[in-house]
Amino acid sequence: MPRLTDEPPGGFHPVAERTPDTYAPVEVGIYGVTKCFSDQVAVDGIDLQVHEGEFFSVLGPSGCGKTTLLRMIAGFADPDSGRIELDGVDMVGVPPYRRDVNTVFQSYALFPHMTVWDNVAYGLRRKRLRGAELRRRVAEHLELVQLARFAKRRPTELSGGQQQRVAIARALAARPRLLLLDEPLGALDAQLRKQMQIELMQIQREVGTTFLYVTHDQEEALVLSHRVAVMNAGRVEQVGYPEDVYERPSTRFVAGFIGTSNIMDVKVSDMDGEWLELTGGGVERLRAVLPDGHSARHGQQLSVTVRPEKLHLYDADGEEQPPPGWCSLAGTVADVVYTGMSTQYVVDVPGGDSLVAFVQNTRRISDAGTPGQPVRMAWDPEFTVVLDSPARGGAEPAEAERTKEEVH
């Protein structure tokens, strides 16, 4: 089992150069936005900055306030407090038809009494485009979504995926500064979703419009976005690059919501520079890097997480044992699930918890463990992530980028 040596030490650093977008000016600035419905807080003091040309996703479970946030940016609702700036101008109180923002609705909301062509032309006509220019722009956008030959059809005569494309063409035709997408692939079947994800990504890279994408599908957010904001209960839990959010979840919620996570409650037993030695239920050796700019003290309670694919399984009394310095933990296999590419092991550890490990099926299948077998689980301590550190706020990654911006 080779160790991944090509990663920088001290945790995962996203390659910022990949997306020059984050150095671009801020397109949408959301500052302390709060919105309540009767007695319920839907959006609770959100700060977010989306840069020009960025594909930015807001990811969260249903009811986390992500759609409310989107509707406030579109202008269908106004925040109770806070500012929503578009290109530096506060938009609160400006009606939707005066905002340079277009929306792709979850239900598509295509005009049923108009042809596909007229649907796409709708926004352009409102901008007083006529004649050849109008025809050219509509044709261009129908071409973009590959629906030119369906121009004369009614929306009801199209399939779900085609309707979705019409909605995208209609919203993009007027060339908005910002395109809002409210779970646009939610109504499509799995295969079509995958295809549309790729198309959406291509369209965004092609037109270069800033996309603000709302979804509850973590995979979609990770695949499509330059950056992701994870929301829960009206708050932003973490903002970062997809790799960042997945590899270095900052809160228990993010760790649990994105992918599968093994969360352990432990105590600080020793400190060595930036390294923490941790003890707790069944742990033989557990080390973690203290996140930047944070402090810990002896005996402090902490939650740590490690992704299932980082875990390696060893026979409890086999010859092969984990490399020295790795975190390790003994347990017994409770369940083995073969999933094709990998095998999922559920391992009971002392203290009542159970951890999940994904092991790539690169070995012969006969080598797989069986339930009841005693095993040792181990992982490189770089993959231990400390959660819920009190000083780590949701807006922090954005702050970090701003400093980068200043440096340049």
How is residue 205 annotated by DSSP?
H
Q: How far apart are CA 238 and CA 250, in angstroms?
A: 7
Query: Could you identify the residue written with the tokens 């984990």?
Result: 322
Interface pick for another protein out of 90, 143, 157, 270 (rule CB under 8 A):
157
Residue among 43 and 167 whose Cβ is closer to another protein: 167
Where helices occur in 214-358 by DSSP H, the ranges are 218-224, 242-247, 252-257
Residue among 177 and 194 whose Cβ is closer to another protein: 177
Smallest gap from residue 157 Cβ to another protein (A)? 6
The yes or no reply on residue 102 touching another protein (CB under 8 A) is yes
Residue among 180 and 375 whose Cβ is closer to another protein: 180
Smallest gap from residue 354 Cβ to another protein (A)? 44
The yes or no reply on residue 150 touching another protein (CB under 8 A) is yes
Walk across the sheet containing 40-51 and list its strands. Answer: 40-51, 26-37, 81-86, 89-90
How is residue 123 annotated by DSSP?
H
How is residue 112 annotated by DSSP?
T
- # chain residues binding another protein, by CB under 8 A: 29
Closest CA to 46 of 292, 254, 239, 253: 239
Query: What's the one-letter identity of residue 241?
Result: Y
Q: What is the DSSP track for 34-83?
A: EEEETTEEEEEEEEEEEETT-EEEEE--TTSSHHHHHHHHHTSS--SEEE
Interface pick for another protein out of 3, 25, 111, 298 (rule CB under 8 A):
111
Smallest gap from residue 30 Cβ to another protein (A)? 19
Interface pick for another protein out of 36, 41, 109, 207 (rule CB under 8 A):
109
- Pattern 82-101, binding to another protein, x per CB under 8 A? -------------xxx---x
Select from 170-178, 204-212, 310-318, 319-327 the region that touches another protein (CB under 8 A). Answer: 170-178
Q: How far apart are CA 202 and CA 197, in angstroms?
A: 9
Strands 275-279 and 55-59: unpaired
Interface pick for another protein out of 171, 283, 302, 329 (rule CB under 8 A):
171
Residue among 111 and 338 whose Cβ is closer to another protein: 111
Q: What is the DSSP track for 138-172?
A: HHHHHHHTT-GGGTTS-GGGS-HHHHHHHHHHHHH
Q: What is the gyration radius of the CA atoms in the chain, in angstroms?
A: 24
Select from 14-22, 150-158, 196-204, 379-387 the region that touches another protein (CB under 8 A). Answer: 150-158
Interface pick for another protein out of 22, 49, 67, 103 (rule CB under 8 A):
103
Name 182's bridge partners. Answer: 214
Where helices occur in 210-347 by DSSP H, the ranges are 218-224, 242-247, 252-257
The DSSP element (H or E) to which 211 belongs, if any, is: strand 210-215
Mutual orientation of helices 190-207 and 131-144 as an angle, nearest 10°? 130
The yes or no reply on residue 187 touching another protein (CB under 8 A) is no
Smallest gap from residue 102 Cβ to another protein (A)? 6
Residue among 124 and 385 whose Cβ is closer to another protein: 124
Residue among 172 and 302 whose Cβ is closer to another protein: 172
Would you say how long the chain is, in residues?
A: 408
Smallest gap from residue 383 Cβ to another protein (A)? 44
Q: How many other CB atoms are found less than 10 A from the CB of residue 367?
A: 9
Residue among 123 and 381 whose Cβ is closer to another protein: 123
Q: ∠173-113-145 over CA atoms, to 5°? A: 30
Interface pick for another protein out of 65, 79, 123, 242 (rule CB under 8 A):
123
Interface pick for another protein out of 3, 18, 126, 404 (rule CB under 8 A):
126
Site for another protein in 66-85 (CB under 8 A): 74-76
Interface pick for another protein out of 135, 153, 175, 392 (rule CB under 8 A):
153
The yes or no reply on residue 271 touching another protein (CB under 8 A) is no
| Dihedral, CA of residue 7, residue 11, residue 12 and residue 13, to nearest 10 | -100
The yes or no reply on residue 213 touching another protein (CB under 8 A) is no
Residue among 155 and 242 whose Cβ is closer to another protein: 155
Residue among 175 and 285 whose Cβ is closer to another protein: 175
Q: In the complex, which residues of this chain contact another protein (CB under 8 A)? A: 74-76, 95-97, 101-103, 105, 107, 109-113, 122-123, 126-127, 149-150, 152-154, 157, 170-171, 174
